[in-house]
A and B are shown apart, each in its own frame.
Chain A
Amino acid sequence: MVFDTVSLTIPATAGHLAILRTTVGGFAARDQFTLDQVDDLRMAVEEAAVQLLRQSRGQRLNMDIETTDLGVEVRLLAQVDGDDPIIDEGSFSWTILRALADDIHVESKAQRATITLSKHRLTIPGGSAERDSR
């Protein structure tokens, strides 16, 4: 089973965040991530989405999940007012995201804020062979 990209757009309200969490969890779980990592990713996406929601001026929140060589990359995007960074380095959110994801990238440009999270797959002995056979 090989995944490419999954895209999802939800209304920019807190009540819809569970959909993002569930989707990213389902995606990662099917891709050789350990349960720890799946939960990490779900929590990271939720944290990032909450931060976007707080500053979002738009109606929608967009999420792209992509399989990469190393693991998965999740990109969350929302419309914002200014071009200030959506999360300050050194903030509590940043600390949490840094613990949960292997790589974080935050960008605000042309009133669009993006948070990109990467989570690396654990190298499991025999894991790739197992994946190929499915």
Chain B
Amino acid sequence: MSTEDRRATTKLLFTELRSSGDPQKRDQLAKLHLPLVEYLAKRFKDRGEPLDDLIQVGSVGLLKAIDRFDLDRGVEFSTYATPTIVGELKRYFRDKGWAVRVPRRLQELSLRLNKLVAQLTQDLGRAPTVPELAKAAGVSEDEVLEALESGQAYSTTSLDAPSGDDDDAPMRMDRIGSEDSSLDNLEHFASLKPLIDQLPEREKMILRLRFFDDMTQSKIAEHVGISQMHVSRLLSRILEYLRQGFDGDAQY
């Protein structure tokens, strides 16, 4: 089918779908544009996920695009659908970053809360409380708690990973600078020194700021340029690592 034909058929099918709501028209539209999904899915094929899975994920994006497309806007459907499909694929990879399978609803709420925490922290000059967060997000306190719990399941595996939970956030290692991280106060915990020495600079700094300089997580977050939740996760992980070190099998 030529591009011209496909465009004409697409228009016709959309007109019919909108007037009749016939699910068959929706299917036909999906089949017609499957090659677009395949094309876009291939762009993600080197990331260790089976192509079939990616096509399936992309198809979800395609269906969303079909349901949302507005003929009157005057743009071609493929132009409209591409970002939706790519968005779905990106989200799939983002979701893969969760170490424990967390329901999509909670993941999204958790990411949304993360942004709200940053905003409220700035507005209030301190970290928000759960009731404040719930109010700002328009959800119940229980939902906030549930989402915060699930946020703990987010794996933070690489220092080079973008900081915060924003996909496009810049790497923040460079923001740490050459500040004194000698951890002088830690010197007399001789048994811990070799373990602490193995921590990346940022982790050393966070450890020092929280436990020896008595800085709050929010302040550290601001200082280091990552979210408070990220600071919390890193601190938990550092302590866990040090405890394992105590038991003789540490690996950070």
List residues of A whose CB falls within 8 A of some B CB.
22, 25-26, 29-30, 32-40, 43, 46-47, 50, 91-92, 95-96, 99, 122, 124, 127, 130, 134
Contact = CB atoms under 8 A, between A and B. Distances in A.
Contact of A99 (B126, B189, B214, B229): B214
Contacts of B126: 34, 36, 122
Contacts of B117: 35
A129 to B, nearest CB: 12
A43 B239 contact: yes
B162 interface: no
Contacts of A127: 129
Interface residues of B, number: 30
Overall SS of chain A's interface? helix
A35 B243 contact: no
Given A30-B141, A35-B128, A50 B228 contact: no
Interface in B95-138: 117, 126-131, 133
B236 A32 contact: no
A124 to B, nearest CB: 7
Contacts of B214: 99
27 contacts: A25-B145, A25-B148, A29-B130, A29-B141, A30-B131, A30-B145, A32-B131, A33-B130, A34-B126, A34-B128, A34-B218, A35-B117, A35-B148, A36-B216, A39-B232, A40-B217, A43-B239, A47-B239, A91-B189, A92-B192, A92-B242, A95-B211, A95-B212, A99-B212, A124-B129, A130-B131, A134-B131
